[in-house]
Amino acid sequence: MSVNVLFSARPALWPVYEPLLTQYLDEAGVDVRLGTDFEPDQVDYVIYAPNGGLLDFAPFTRLKAVLSLWAGVEKIADNETLTVPLARMVDHGLTQGMTEWVVGHVLRYHLRMDRHITVQDGVWAPDAIPLAQDRNVCILGLGALGEAAARALAALNFQVTGWSRTAKDIPGVTCLHSHEGLRQALSQAEIVALLLPDTPATENALNAETLALLPKGARIINPGRGPLIDDEALLDALNTGQVGHATLDVFRVEPLPADHPYWAHPNVTVTPHIASETRPVTAAQVICENIRRGEAGEPFVHLVDRTLGY
């Protein structure tokens, strides 16, 4: 019997993914039927994105797993009709893209590029830049994306401190956890990058209290999730100089409304959720590997802990 795989994502993606999924599953030796319209009780796997519109998994009585095309699973993790394994997207293309974006903006802040690009006032004012080994960068969140960014920055000799909700061990990175660990990590962070998941426990991770822990003038980079930051608290910290600048790629409401204060703030850089995207070629490989595993009786990879939400 062939394996039936339902593609439930933005319809425009189907012509992109269909040939890739067909190729990789054929190479893996999986006899499969792919489509966007199966009877629910005939579906073995769902390739899922929230914009596909699927909400009720109860009719999918044959379902073996739901395989997300998105790294973030906050829109599905608490779905009570989903009782089978849920795998999130951990894609080396997405990881590489995010690492490049984070490292690029850390270097931008470290090398004071904004000053040299935007201030051309005819004043010759040499200002020695510290070496990376003298600059402390904090990564909040040490999952696949956070760990990759932390390793890349450590390879450039930055002093990298990482914080996560559970204990981690990454060579070259000072890894902290617990509430006290968060306070310690922020208290010495000249540049902070947020790569935490969006869960009730991480909402407003940067708020008035935690922003006050930063060294005055610290820089913030958020390519993770919009709800990780208390927007009003960040604006207050920017206005007082407690935070020197923020580069924000994700927001609670997207697109960011035209009248949002971030657009006009002189110490905020807005980027339109471009830090990294799922690349169809590499994402299809990840999806197909999990289908192959499922059919071979092997454990799925990148499974979501539903109790934690990621």
Which residues carry out catalysis?
Answer: 225, 273
H/E run at residue 263: helix 261-264
Number of CB atoms found within 10 A of residue 302's CB: 17
H/E run at residue 212: none
| Helices 14-27/280-296 angle, 10° precision | 40
Give the SS3 label for residue 257: coil
Beta strands in the chain (DSSP E): 3-8, 32-35, 45-48, 65-68, 86-87, 136-140, 159-163, 173-176, 191-194, 218-222, 243-248, 268-270
The type of residue at 191 is I
Residue 221 CB partners (closer than 8 Å, separation 6+): 102, 105, 106, 109, 191, 192, 193, 194, 246, 247
